[in-house]
């Protein structure tokens, strides 16, 4: 039986049948979806609909067609409109049916657990040696170091799943067999595909070894980040600006502790006392169109910054997405300690 079958009721059912079905969902979301004999969805039903029907004088032997809601929210499996999903979620609808082209239910999404339904494939880069964290990484790959009770990479995988991303790949190298063993079983029903790069290929080169992408948008990120980036906002910003590549960035300020001269040759034109300069730093999280992968050379050391420069050179659109919230790149022991301290308060 499919895991959503408990929410399905045939249109031949009575109000009593609906009450029994809702009672069986007592610890779950109290919503039923009604289908006809072709399994085509024709309406939804809640205990409130039953209550209003009984107040009108209906009996428990009456057919549910007399009380179902024919106006209901849904999405098509071939067109996940993220803006529409966001609007539905914000309207406090908790269960969202996903229909095929024949309007048959193929999946039911629990919007109490999911933050979005992003039509995105993800690739996490997990091949680095983590040399600046030695001796912690002598026998353990950096992505599997614990932050609190979980491995660093698990926070990122679980976050991606919470945004409805179902095709997740992890590229490995150093001690990669440990990461493969770590993800030998699905996570929350999602299979994590581990891909071994034959040699170190930079921060995006190994993406060429991922064989199957199911979506036209690819999210690429370092696996050792500790962040609460809003992937839905990231995606919608990308779509809004019709980008070819979007780079998540974090604010970075530098304060010079001295007076700085504004010069024209040897002549002093003015002075700025202890100025602060504000910049954006690369957060190591990228959204790209799938077609862009063709620009990455095969089996060559290649960084995400190389891809940015190539896209700019050929006049493709590269934009930045300001990341709010927390972000830690766990590269040094001080960063690792900062993440350990932060997780205690989350």
Residue 45 has pLDDT above 80, yes or no: yes
Q: Decide if 315 is inside a domain.
A: yes
pLDDT at 1 over 50: no
C-alpha 83/C-alpha 18 separation (Å) is 32
- Examine residue 127 and state whether it is found in any structural domain, yes or no: yes
Same domain for 77 and 167?
A: no
**Do 105 and 208 sit in the same domain of this protein?**
no
Which residues make Cβ contacts (< 8 Å) with residue 163, sequence separation at least 6? Answer: 114, 115, 116, 117, 118, 231, 232
Q: Find out whether 217 and 290 touch, Cβ atoms under 8 Å.
A: yes
Residue 77 confidence (pLDDT): 82
Read off the pTM. Answer: 0.85
CB 169 within 8 A of CB 123: yes
Asked if 143 and 152 touch (Cβ cutoff 8 Å), the reply is yes
Cα 223 from Cα 246, distance rounded (Å): 18
My answer on whether 106 and 132 are in the same domain is no
- What are the tens digits of pLDDT across the range 155-185? 999 999 999 999 999 999 889 899 999 999 9
Question: Is 275 within a domain?
Answer: yes
Residue 342 tokens, joined:
């932060």
Residues 168, 233: one domain? yes
Please list the residues that pair with 271 across neighbouring strands: 261
- pLDDT per residue as tens digits for the range 115-164: 999 999 999 999 888 778 888 788 888 999 998 889 999 999 999 999 99
**135 prior amide bond cis, ω within 30:** yes
193: nearest Cα among 218, 213, 167, 217: 167
Rounded distance between C-alpha atoms, residue 281 and residue 253, angstroms:
10
Predicted confidence at residue 156, as pLDDT, reads: 95
CATH number at residue 10: 3.10.580.10
Q: How many domains does the chain divide into?
A: 2
Residue 292: per-residue pLDDT: 94
Sequence-ordered list of residues with C-beta below 8 angstroms from that of 344, at least 6 positions apart, any chain:
148
State which of 110, 145, 171 marks the end of a domain: 110
Q: What is the mean pLDDT of the chain?
A: 90
Say if CB 302 and CB 198 are below 8 A apart. no
Q: Are residues 129 and 98 in the same domain?
A: no
Q: pLDDT-derived band of residue 302, with 50, 70 and 90 as boundaries?
A: very high
- Domain span holding position 43: 5-110
Q: Does residue 307 sit in the same domain as residue 328?
A: yes
110 forms beta bridges with 95
Q: Is the pLDDT of residue 312 over 60?
A: yes
Q: What angle do CA 222, 218, 125 make, to 5 degrees?
A: 20
Both tokens of 20, joined, read 């029994």
Pair (95, 146) in one structural domain: no
The whole-number average pLDDT for the span 65-80 is 88
Give the pair of three-digit tokens for residue 30: 């109290």
Q: In the predicted model, what is the mean pLDDT of residues 231-245?
A: 95
Residue pair 63/18 in contact by the 8 Å Cβ criterion: no
pLDDT at 2: 57
DSSP-assigned letters across all residues of 209-276: G-----SSEEEEEETTEEE---HHHHHHHHHHTT-SEEEEEEEEEEE-SSEEEEEETTEEEEEEES-E
Residue of higher predicted confidence among 209 and 3:
209
Does residue 167 belong to any structural domain of this protein?
yes
**Mean of the pLDDT values across residues 310-326?**
93
Contacts for 289 with CB less than 8 Å, ≥ 6 apart: 216, 217, 218, 244, 245
Residues 45 and 166 placed together within one structural domain of the fold? no
Q: Are residues 78 and 162 in the same domain?
A: no
CATH of the domain at 281: 3.90.550.10
Tokens for 209? 């070894």
What would the two tokens of residue 40 be?
């085509």
Strands 150-151 and 245-255: unpaired
3-state class (DSSP) for residue 295: helix
Residues 17/9, Cβ–Cβ less than 8 Å: yes
Tens of pLDDT, residues 73-112: 998 888 778 998 898 888 888 899 999 999 999 999 989 8
329 vs 154: CA distance, rounded Å: 15
- Classify residue 258: in a domain, yes or no: yes
Q: 9 pLDDT exceeds 70? A: yes
């Amino acid at each position: 039986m499919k895991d959503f079958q408990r929410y399905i009721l045939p249109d031949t059912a009575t109000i009593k049948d609906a009450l029994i079905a809702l009672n069986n969902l007592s610890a779950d979301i109290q919503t039923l979806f009604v289908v006809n004999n072709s399994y085509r969805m024709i309406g939804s039903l809640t205990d409130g609909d039953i209550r209003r029907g009984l107040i009108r004088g209906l009996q428990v032997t009456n057919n549910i067609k007399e009380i179902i809601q024919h106006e209901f929210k849904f999405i098509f499996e071939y067109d996940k409109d993220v803006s529409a999903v966001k609007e539905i979620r914000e309207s406090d609808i908790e269960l969202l049916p996903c229909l095929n082209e024949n309007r048959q239910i193929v999946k039911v999404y629990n919007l109490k657990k999911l933050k979005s339904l992003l039509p995105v494939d993800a690739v996490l880069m997990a091949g680095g040696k983590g040399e600046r964290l030695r001796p912690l990484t002598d026998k353990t790959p950096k992505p599997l170091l614990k932050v609190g009770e979980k491995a660093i990479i698990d926070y990122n995988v679980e976050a991606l799943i919470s945004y409805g991303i179902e095709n997740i790949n992890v590229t490995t190298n150093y001690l990669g067999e440990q990461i493969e063993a770590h993800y030998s079983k699905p996570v929350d029903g999602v299979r994590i595909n581990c891909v071994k790069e034959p040699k170190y290929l930079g921060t995006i080169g190994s993406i060429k070894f991922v064989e199957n992408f199911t979506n036209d948008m690819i999210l690429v990120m370092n696996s050792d980040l500790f962040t609460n980036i809003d992937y839905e906002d990231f995606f919608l910003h990308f779509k809004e600006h019709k980008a070819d590549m979007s780079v998540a960035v974090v604010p970075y300020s530098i304060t010079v502790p001295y007076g700085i001269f504004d010069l024209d040759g040897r002549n002093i034109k003015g002075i700025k006392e202890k100025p602060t300069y504000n910049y954006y730093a690369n957060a190591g999280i990228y959204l790209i169109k799938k077609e862009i992968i063709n620009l990455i050379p095969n089996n060559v050391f290649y960084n995400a910054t190389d891809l940015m420069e190539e896209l700019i050179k050929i006049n493709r659109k590269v934009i930045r997405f300001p990341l709010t919230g927390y972000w830690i790149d766990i590269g040094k022991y001080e960063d690792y300690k900062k993440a350990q301290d932060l997780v205690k308060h989350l």
